[in-house]
Amino acid sequence: MPTPYVVFRQSVLDGIERHTKHTGQDEAGGILVGPRPVQNIFLIEQQIPDEGRTICSPVTYRSDEHFLQSRLEQLRHDHPDWDYRGTWHKQPDSTDPSETDRKQAIEILRDPSYAINGVVIMPIVTLGSHKELHFDCHYMAREDEYFDRADFAVKSDDDRDLKAISALLARTGDTKESRHGKPIAQTRVAKELAKLKSLRLQASIRRLDQDTVGILIKLDLVRSLLAILPAEYPLNPPRLVLLQQNSTADVKWDASPWSSAYMLSDLVQQFLDSSQKVQLSNTTGSANLFTQHTYTPCRF
């Protein structure tokens, strides 16, 4: 499955850090709460620290499930679309999952009472020698039952990306669908972001209006490429806009060979190739979409 993209509100990480430091050398933990994910984009709105009758020591942590469940029910009452998304916990000297963590994750994934859509998010934290917080985000999918690292980001409440993601997830219930029956535009957003990140490119989501999502890709210090995703993406190609310090221009390119096998990372690699001779390779063949391209000034 595609790697989940997990977005934590800054207030969530702050709460985890407070509880971690408050419990001293003992292990500790809590649960993560947020709306239903859309195509592997998880937004963690709140965390509930386990402040009940826990059993904990420097090497042991057993949660008070009754306390956590009661707090979760309170949040569900105020936010009907929120639910359990995962569990975080503190370890004494490592942010790697233990065998106990693996067994717990598998138990959760196999329990039908958890509304987790086949994926459980499990961050692990530890305190450094100077009491600084070390944080690593892991996940397990029902189809695999092994841990892997999730792509994650921490966003402040006024961050534009966070607002765009919040709006994206809030619209899940009334989003139109493509002919394949999957949510449109955001269908591959998480996968696209992860692929661009793997190429060491900075990319972020931009909501351009109520119905339009874009991905902003920073090319260098003065240029960015905005990919505007159509409702039928990836069946139909994106519109590309080049943003520079003093100009904004549409990128005209040959989209006729486009297929859903292409990804934005393929387009960006070709766009950046100075010789314009790099060939796109995919399951349906290859084509250089930027053999001839021009720029037309545009405005939003």
What pLDDT shows up at residue 4? 84
Judge contact between 150 and 197, C-beta under 8 A. Answer: no
pTM for the whole structure = 0.57
Of all residues in the chain, the percent with pLDDT exceeding 70 is: 78
pLDDT number for residue 176: 38
Is residue 7 a contact partner of residue 43, using CB atoms and an 8 Å limit?
Answer: yes
Q: pLDDT value at position 188? A: 67
Tens digit of pLDDT for each residue in 46-94?
A: 999 988 777 777 767 778 888 999 999 999 888 888 999 999 999 888 8
Q: What is the mean pLDDT of the chain?
A: 78
Which residue type, as a one-letter code, is found at position 77? Answer: H
Q: How many CA atoms lie within 13 A of 44 on its CB side?
A: 32
* Strands of the chain, DSSP E: 5-9, 29-35, 41-44, 46-49, 55-57, 60-62, 82-90, 119-127, 133-141, 147-149, 151-155, 202-209, 212-218, 224-229, 239-243, 248-252, 280-282, 285-287, 294-297
pLDDT digits (tens, 9 = 90+) for 182-210: 444 445 677 788 888 888 888 888 777 65
Q: Do the bridges between strand 239-243 and strand 151-155 make them parallel or antiparallel, or are there none, so unpaired?
A: unpaired
Q: Which domains does the chain have, with CATH numbers?
A: 5-155 (3.40.140.10), 177-297 (3.10.110)
Report residue 39's pLDDT band, with 50, 70 and 90 as the boundaries: low
Alpha carbons within 13 angstroms on the beta-carbon side of residue 85 total 29
Annotate 175-188 with b (16+ C-beta within 10 A) or e (fewer): beebeeeebbbbbb
Q: How confident is the model at residue 44 (pLDDT cuts 50, 70, 90)?
A: very high
CA-CA-CA-CA torsion for 219, 222, 228, 229, nearest 10 degrees?
A: 20
Residue 158 has pLDDT above 90, yes or no: no
